[in-house]
């Protein structure tokens, strides 16, 4: 049995706008175990990205508690949150967010410069199948290759958790499946906890744990004893 790694307890998030208060999260409670491949599923506007921002220390909750291991992330000050994002969290976004004037290898090297326990960038680039593209710039790479570099950049930091916000949203069907396969393999090979936010409900079949979110609340959690291989999933 895996140890509990993440705990959300009655987490709320309110945003004050000119037209009133928006309740993005309304008392979210769930657990994630260490080393799991987790899918956060729900429709657009459900609060998935806000949830991910709380996990990654990019935003702080209005109320409730966010824990990672023994650390109460929701109680961190700005300095501690910066250190947390720098060392403990790897981010993968929908649109890659690579530096256009740096090569694939340099993009990864930049990310690990201030990390204390980083994985050698060339090793990680090889693990995502791009050893021969180390000297290529983002403009010379396909969308799928750019996303592989983005994943390598996240993993090279040797973080405790890898957070992915719609990582296949800008990719075609076959490339999207290859990226999901890569994320799943990295979760197992590097023993990382990987959390993927998606509106694609078909992806949930490959997860160890699925957390359903709607209107800012957790509407259910499903554990897959036998996750479906990505090759067998269609959408």
pLDDT digits (tens, 9 = 90+) for 36-95: 999 999 998 899 999 999 999 999 999 999 999 999 999 999 999 999 999 999 999 888
Return all residues near 82 (Cβ < 8 A) that are at least 6 apart: none
Q: In what order do the strands lie in the sheet with 63-68?
A: 20-33, 4-17, 63-68, 71-72
| Structural domain includes residue 102 | yes
State the residue range of the domain holding 140.
Answer: 95-159
Among the listed residues 89, 85, 120, 88, the one whose alpha carbon sits nearest the alpha carbon of residue 105: 120
| Residue 122 pLDDT grade (very low, low, confident, very high; cuts 50, 70, 90) | very high
| Structural domain includes residue 3 | no
| Structural domain includes residue 136 | yes
| Structural domain includes residue 153 | yes
Rounded to the nearest angstrom, the gap between the alpha carbon of residue 76 and the centroid of all alpha carbons in its chain is: 20
The DSSP bridge pattern shows strands 20-33 and 71-72 to be unpaired
| Structural domain includes residue 111 | yes
| Structural domain includes residue 194 | no
| Residue 1 pLDDT grade (very low, low, confident, very high; cuts 50, 70, 90) | low
Tally the domains of the chain.
1
pTM: 0.91
| Structural domain includes residue 109 | yes
| Structural domain includes residue 103 | yes
Q: How many Å is the Cα radius of gyration of the chain?
A: 17
At 187 the pLDDT is 80
């Amino acid at each position: 049995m895996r140890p509990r790694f993440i705990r959300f307890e009655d987490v709320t998030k309110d945003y004050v706008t000119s037209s009133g208060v928006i309740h993005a999260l309304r008392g979210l409670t769930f657990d994630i175990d260490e080393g799991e491949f987790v899918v956060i599923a729900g429709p657009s506007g459900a609060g998935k990205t806000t949830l991910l921002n709380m996990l990654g220390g990019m935003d702080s909750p209005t109320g409730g508690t966010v824990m990672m291991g023994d650390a109460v992330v929701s109680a961190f000050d700005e300095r501690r949150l910066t250190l947390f994002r720098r060392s403990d969290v790897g981010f993968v976004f929908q649109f890659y967010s690579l530096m256009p004037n740096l090569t694939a290898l340099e993009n990864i090297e930049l990310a690990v410069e201030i990390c204390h326990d980083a994985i050698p960038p060339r090793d990680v680039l090889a693990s995502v199948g791009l050893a021969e593209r180390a000297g290529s710039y983002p403009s010379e790479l396909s969308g799928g290759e750019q996303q592989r570099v983005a994943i390598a950049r996240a993993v090279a930091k040797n973080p405790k958790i890898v957070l992915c916000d719609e990582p296949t949203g800008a990719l075609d069907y076959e490339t999207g499946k290859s990226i999901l396969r890569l994320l799943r393999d990295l979760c197992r090979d590097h023993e990382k906890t990987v959390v993927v936010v998606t509106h694609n409900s078909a992806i949930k079949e490959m997860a160890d744990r699925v957390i359903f979110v709607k209107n800012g609340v957790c509407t259910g959690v499903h554990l897959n004893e036998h996750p479906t291989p990505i090759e067998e999933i269609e959408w």
